[in-house]
Amino acid sequence: MPRTYAPELRRRVIDLIESGQSVAEVAAMVEPTEQTIYNWWNRHLVDTGRRAGSPSIESSELLAARRQIAELEKELAATRRANELLKEVVPPKVGSKPFR
Say what the pLDDT of residue 52 is: 80
- 57 falls in which pLDDT band (50, 70, 90)? confident
Q: Are 98 and 92 in contact (CB under 8 A)?
A: yes
CA-based angle 54:57:61, to the nearest 5?
Answer: 100
Whether the predicted model's global pTM rises above the 0.75 cut: no
pLDDT, the chain, mean: 89
Q: Are 16 and 41 in contact (CB under 8 A)?
A: no
Say what the pLDDT of residue 89 is: 85
Return the higher-pLDDT residue of 91 and 41.
Answer: 41
pLDDT digits (tens, 9 = 90+) for 63-96: 899 999 999 999 999 999 999 999 888 876 776 6
